[in-house]
């Protein structure tokens, strides 16, 4: 299934924004675990630092949640992979053409199987089907640690 440029831009935004929200829940779990509440300074000075990677946050999450569901961790990792595809893959390739026609669309190769194009529609579908389960799972962990949210 092919995703047109405008649709790809919208799905790219959706995937990245939803993953930002997922990562925020992980940040709140980490803060809740170590401080008993969401400590704003720690959240922004440490967990939001551009060098504090998602992989490190995930590893901390695995260490502090003793009975973490490994299947959910696998789904979380997959969501991160999909997020990375949307965030970092966008260069179009024109197989066997030195000079593509003006307006002609190339394909964006899959970084793991670069001779095949990425199927952004399938990746988006997988993300939107999996993300709510993982978000709810993580939010439940946050609540079990004593965290709460308020509705506006």
**What is the per-residue pLDDT across 89-127, written as a single tens digit (0 to 9) for each?**
877 777 666 666 777 777 787 888 877 888 999 999 999
- Percent of the chain at pLDDT above 90? 69
- The per-residue pLDDT for 35 is 96
Per-residue confidence (pLDDT) for residue 1, from 0 to 100? 41
Mean pLDDT of the chain: 89
Given a cut of 60, whether residue 152 has pLDDT beyond it is: no
Task: Determine whether 22 is exposed, middle or buried from the number of CB atoms within 10 Å of its CB (0-12, 13-18, 19+).
Answer: buried
Tokens of 20: 């930002």
Whole-model pTM: value is: 0.86
Q: Which residues pair with 109 in a beta bridge?
A: 117
pLDDT band at 149 (very low <50, low <70, confident <90, very high): confident
Overall average pLDDT of the 83-88 stretch? 93
Cα–Cα distance measured from residue 50 to residue 36, given in angstroms and rounded to the nearest whole number: 24
């Amino acid at each position: 299934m092919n995703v047109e440029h405008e649709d790809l831009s919208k799905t790219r935004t959706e995937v990245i924004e939803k993953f930002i929200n997922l990562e925020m829940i992980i940040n709140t779990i980490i803060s809740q675990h170590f401080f008993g509440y969401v400590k704003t300074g720690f959240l922004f000075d440490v967990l939001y630092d551009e060098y504090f990677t998602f992989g490190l946050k995930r590893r901390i999450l695995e260490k502090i949640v003793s009975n973490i569901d490994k299947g959910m961790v696998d789904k979380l990792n997959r969501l991160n992979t999909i997020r990375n595809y949307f965030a970092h893959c966008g260069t179009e390739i024109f197989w066997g053409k030195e000079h593509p026609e003006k307006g002609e669309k190339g394909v964006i190769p899959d970084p793991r199987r670069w001779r095949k194009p990425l199927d952004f529609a399938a990746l988006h579908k997988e993300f939107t089907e999996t993300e709510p389960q993982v978000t709810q799972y993580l939010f439940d962990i946050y609540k079990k640690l004593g965290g709460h949210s308020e509705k506006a």
